[in-house]
């Protein structure tokens, strides 16, 4: 997780050794937030895509710089939507989870959680890694989930 993403980061040496299965990045969301630059996000995305590792651009943060222009983006929902619209998230190779019950037996299909998503979820930057609507309140829309 690269958050707050306030400077360029290269993780290629870890990606090429298969030491990372998924990467998330998000800008800073606090008062006095420092800017996140689109070229930093793009460079990290490109490294992940090269090694087929899932990359999720969760949000722009309050201050986002693209093409030399500073955007002031208030509200986590809008930051997440702008990240989604960037098209920078990338679904890489699947992560293999070995899910078991309390006794170590593999879970059957009917025991697995079934995700559902509300209307707001369509443009959420977190959707790729989200477990679906748990009525957590993050999107604050009151949408009825769809299954």
Instruction: Indicate the number of domains in the chain.
Output: 1
Cα gap 130→117, rounded to integer Å: 9
**Per the domain annotation, does 144 fall within a domain?**
no
**Per the domain annotation, does 27 fall within a domain?**
yes
List the pLDDT tens digit at each of the 147 positions of the chain. 999 999 999 999 999 999 999 999 999 998 899 999 999 999 999 999 999 999 999 999 999 999 999 999 998 889 999 999 999 999 999 888 888 999 999 999 888 877 777 777 777 777 777 767 655 555 554 444 443
Does the global pTM surpass 0.85? Answer: no
**Per the domain annotation, does 84 fall within a domain?**
yes
**Per the domain annotation, does 145 fall within a domain?**
no
Give percent helix, percent strand, percent coil of the chain, each to the nearest 5. 25, 20, 55
Burial, 1: exposed, middle or buried (Cβ in 10 Å; 0-12, 13-18, 19+)?
A: exposed
């Amino acid at each position: 997780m690269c958050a707050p993403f306030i400077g360029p980061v290269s993780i290629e040496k870890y990606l090429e050794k298969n030491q990372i299965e998924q990467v998330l990045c998000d800008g800073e969301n606090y008062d006095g937030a420092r800017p996140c630059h689109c070229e930093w996000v793009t460079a990290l995305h490109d490294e992940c895509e090269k090694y087929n590792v899932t990359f999720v651009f969760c949000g722009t943060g309050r201050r986002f710089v693209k093409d030399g222009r500073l955007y002031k983006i208030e509200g986590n929902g809008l930051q997440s939507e702008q990240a989604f619209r960037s098209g920078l998230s990338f679904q890489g190779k699947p992560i293999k989870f070995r899910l078991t019950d309390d006794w170590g037996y593999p879970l059957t299909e009917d025991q697995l959680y079934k995700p559902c998503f509300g209307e707001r979820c369509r443009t959420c930057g977190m959707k790729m890694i989200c477990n679906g609507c748990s009525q957590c309140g993050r999107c604050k829309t009151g949408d009825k989930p769809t299954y």
